[in-house]
């Protein structure tokens, strides 16, 4: 059963036009080594001019704290980068999402209090950093359960919305539910969490808050599960109203929780990739909730680290099946499954983000350091 699964100064470079037709790129080297910083989320500002990157700093002994980086895409420069410690006596941090809104960066993170599953709890924190990168707020979400794990966050002009799951347990069973929470822009709760005791999505689903709803896809876990029971192979996608219940749920026997990865596009479309026996299957569930026919195609890529919407395409971070070549950023045609490698010579990508025709990646170079790369494709 589920136990804890979480365990720059930049050199300025000018905007570079690349020979590939209709494509322009920005490349910025990050003065941090890949073995010391693991980016786990990145996001564009509303106008696409800035990108935030968040993740965990770590040593051989474990997580040291969090790191947040803000990059100016237009000028190819660093706006700022900040490191911040774990709360006292905590064991690790897993940043889930950063959002750039009104010259502030909001950061959602899950924290583990102790590395031992029997002793530790998972809790959810929100941070705010100002235009100079100074931390101006930090708030622990009030949890009505033993463990609270965030899926996604959104920041509107009036509120911050957070969605995730709760887990309680006794000697024989684990109990799963989904929560949504509204806070004001200073991170003060506007109301008690809305809790739905009807099960939850297992880590790590594809999840995104769009308007008044959470769109999510992954393996669904029932409300009550025996500790010695295996999870059922129940891949599902849902639209959940933030202040009410489910608008729809679509269940599909699509792969297993060990080899399926899901993501949500800007319009709420849920995409999922699953690989087996030399073939990849792509499932799309549009915002209305009716799954499209699964597209299955031959692919030399197996494991998938991320799935994102990219205009009318799907962008995915995937590893080659032979285990020899490096991971690649792939643009996938959802109608045919045709895959095009976009990452080229940027190094081995470790994190990606999209917005409209824009995509960005953090990649590991041959020197072991991390590099920021962002591109716009006129042919997208």
Strand order in the sheet with 339-341: 301-310, 313-320, 328-332, 339-341
**Cβ pair 201, 207 in contact under 8 A:** yes
**pLDDT at position 203:** 87
Mean pLDDT of 166-182: 96
Condensed to tens digits (0 to 9), the pLDDT of residues 52-74 reads 999 999 877 777 899 999 999 98
Condensed to tens digits (0 to 9), the pLDDT of residues 72-85 reads 998 998 899 999 99
**pLDDT at position 27:** 87
**Cβ pair 89, 40 in contact under 8 A:** no
Condensed to tens digits (0 to 9), the pLDDT of residues 286-309 reads 999 999 999 999 999 999 999 999
**Cβ pair 280, 240 in contact under 8 A:** no
**pLDDT at position 59:** 76
Question: What single string gives the DSSP state of each residue in 96-138?
Answer: EEEEEETTEEEEEEEEES-SSTTT--EEEEEEEE-TTS-EEEE
**pLDDT at position 115:** 75
pLDDT at 131 over 50: yes
pLDDT at 35 over 60: yes
pLDDT at 10 over 80: no
Residue 282 gets the label, from left (phi > 0), alpha (psi -120 to 50) or beta, of: beta
Q: How confident is the model at residue 354 (pLDDT cuts 50, 70, 90)?
A: very high
Q: What is the pTM of this model?
A: 0.91
Each domain of the chain, given as residue ranges in start order, spans 8-30+299-380
Q: How confident is the model at residue 15 (pLDDT cuts 50, 70, 90)?
A: very low
Task: Please choose, from the candidates 68, 56, 49, the residue with its C-alpha nearest in 3D space to the C-alpha of residue 133.
Answer: 68
Q: How confident is the model at residue 276 (pLDDT cuts 50, 70, 90)?
A: confident
**Cβ pair 301, 200 in contact under 8 A:** no
State the chain's mean pLDDT as an integer: 89
């Amino acid at each position: 059963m589920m136990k804890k699964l979480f365990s720059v100064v930049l050199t300025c470079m000018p905007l570079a036009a690349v020979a590939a037709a209709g494509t322009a790129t920005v490349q910025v080297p990050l003065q941090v080594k890949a073995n010391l910083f693991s980016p786990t989320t990145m996001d564009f500002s509303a106008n696409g001019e800035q990108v935030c990157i968040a993740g965990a700093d770590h040593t051989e002994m474990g997580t040291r704290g969090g790191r947040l980086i803000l990059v100016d895409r237009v000028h190819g420069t660093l706006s700022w980068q900040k490191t911040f410690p774990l709360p006292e006596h905590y064991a690790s941090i897993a940043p889930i999402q950063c959002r750039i809104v009104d010259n502030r960066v909001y950061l959602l993170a899950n924290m583990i209090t102790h590395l031992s599953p029997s002793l530790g709890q998972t809790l959810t924190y929100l941070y705010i950093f100002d235009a100079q990168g100074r931390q101006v707020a930090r708030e622990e979400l009030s949890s009505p359960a033993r463990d609270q794990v965030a899926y996604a966050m959104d920041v509107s002009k009036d509120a911050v919305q957070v969605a995730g799951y709760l887990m309680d347990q006794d000697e024989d069973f684990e109990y799963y539910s989904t929560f949504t929470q509204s806070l004001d822009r200073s991170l003060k709760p506007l109301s008690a969490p809305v809790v739905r005791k009807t099960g939850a999505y297992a880590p790590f689903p594809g999840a995104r808050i769009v308007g008044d709803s959470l769109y999510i896809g992954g393996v669904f876990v029932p409300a009550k599960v025996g500790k010695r029971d295996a999870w059922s192979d129940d891949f599902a996608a849902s639209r959940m109203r933030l202040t009410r219940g489910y608008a729809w749920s679509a269940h599909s026997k699509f792969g297993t929780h060990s080899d399926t990865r899901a993501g949500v596009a800007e319009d709420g479309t849920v995409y999922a990739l699953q690989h087996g026996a030399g073939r990849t299957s792509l499932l799309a569930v549009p915002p209305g909730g009716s799954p499209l026919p699964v597209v299955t195609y031959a692919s030399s890529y197996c494991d998938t680290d991320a799935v994102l919407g990219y205009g009318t395409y799907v962008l995915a971070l995937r590893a080659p099946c032979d285990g020899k070549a490096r991971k690649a950023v792939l643009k996938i045609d959802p109608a045919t499954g045709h895959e095009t490698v976009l990452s080229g010579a940027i190094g081995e990508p470790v994190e990606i983000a999209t917005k409209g025709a824009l995509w960005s990646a953090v990649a590991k170079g041959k020197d072991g350091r991390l590099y920021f790369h962002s591109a716009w494709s006129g042919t997208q």
